Structure 1
Amino acid sequence: MLGDNPANAPTSTDSAANVIEAMRLHYTHACITTEIGDFKHSLHHFERAKSCHDQLTAQRHPGLTQMELRNYVGGIANSLNGLGRNNEAEGFYLESLKLGTPDDIDSPYEVNICRCRWAAGRFKEAGDRLCELIELREKTYGKNDTRNYIMGHMLYCLGNVRISQNRENEAYALHQRSLDCWLKTYGPEHHKTGDALHKRGWHEARLGNLDKARKYLERALGVYKSGSEQKFRCGEIARSNFKLAMVFKQLGGGKKSKDYLDDAEELRKELQKDDYTPTANEEVYDGLVSLWAR
């Protein structure tokens, strides 16, 4: 796979130019592997990029920027978060935020540290901070902010917090706003848009709007299966297949329900290997995707 075996990190005898080239190469691979959800390899490459930066700093090389270091440290945090190592991730997020400006409403790390707090059950802390960030963005860019994808992340994460707080109606509205943002910023075929479509389908199923749920879940599945995405979205595909199986079961579509469930189970067997057990529920299928996609 791309990014598995780039040039080894340079030794202290290498020229500064080679160290810089290796740093940038590792960073490029780190970004690619993060995007496809390969957090094990993204962690490796972000750590190597930071190691190169540390080496250049020790050599007092001119031209290094704090922004670069922030991105390497924040990237390590993202990778740890994706691997479910949330306590470690939070420490790196705090370090990366110290390297930036306070209340940076364009920083993904401001949002992602809240995801760690949500995963740790610190719902009020996560929710309060996300509300502050959303309010700051709305004051700067307006309520229907589509300047970039960050607003969608804030809304999506806050929606998940609200579900954990049993405030599902608020979550519904937040997740819909997130979907609206990502349709315009990421586009209709991006995997994050797929996540928001799946979440909208989940909400509609919860409310008993089964036809709407089916439509949104089918759209999510279409995104995950589109183009090159399919290879990297097996967990998401399995999850949406399972949810569609449950929806069709309620709709009385026995054959369709079985077909979707069979597809979901086949993918789950491939992903879980020796950990596979025949009985599964929605929580098990959520466990097939990273925290970022839930």
Structure 2
Amino acid sequence: MEHPLVVGVDGSEGSLAALDWAAEEAARFRLPLRVVYASLWERYEGAVPSSTAERPAEEVEAEHVIASSEQRVRQLFPDLRVHAVTAAADAVDALVEESDSAAAVVTGCSGRGAVREFLLGSVSLAVAGRARCPVVVVRGEERNVKGMGRRVVVGVGQADEAVTAVRFALREAVARGCEVQAVRAWRSPRQPTDVLSVLDAGPQAYEEQARAILDDVLEEAVAGHPNVSVTRTVVEGPAHRALCEAAADADLLVLGATRGQEGSGLHLGRVSHRALHRAGCPVAVVPHR
């Protein structure tokens, strides 16, 4: 069965940016696009008898958002298979449920300009932490969202989730015809506890260790994509800062995440949280299975 790309809409400016991004992504990968507007009005309206023939404002709004979203997509990509639906559920619950059968879920980001880094919507953050497929939060300036940087940045963290994230980034690069920049950050601990401390090694040893991890991950992940140009970046400092700086003029930042115990969602650590709030481009959170 072909899994659709799912995008959540609510009529806001941020959701329109997500809708446009998702439509282009679906066309790029030749996937059907499923547009979802979540609303609880049906649940509550159905429980209260109506004394007038006038339609509920929430119903009118839902129909308008769905119809205008579908029309917008068809104008952008006439040949794209698009299906728009209203879900009688909370937005987070609706999108998480959609993630069971989606290729990816796309959401928008709240805020504009300087305030954008502080206003990642609660829906986007919750979906990124609970979804069972990759989640893309569309954020950044127009140049980043429209893919004018010709570069996908991927963070290389823990080995297993890093391989999954790199493979996702490589597929994006192939579809976009662009390069990949793989970033691994390292820091010298104040009180070393690993084998390097026994050898009384300096910062150079930690840098070499980070480079070796990066090389091992890429060796495993790039085998199926020999024609993609991959740049290796090893940098000292906090990982979230290194990634946000590298992604400032990128088209997409890809991060891996590991699923916890059944029902506990993903482990979104400091790096993912900071990137989702502050990255200057769309951010993809890719669960390792």
Q: Same fold (TM over 0.5)?
A: no
Greater strand fraction, Structure 1 or Structure 2 = 2
Greater helix fraction, Structure 1 or Structure 2 = 1
Structure with greater contact order relative to length (CA < 8 Å, sep ≥ 6):
2
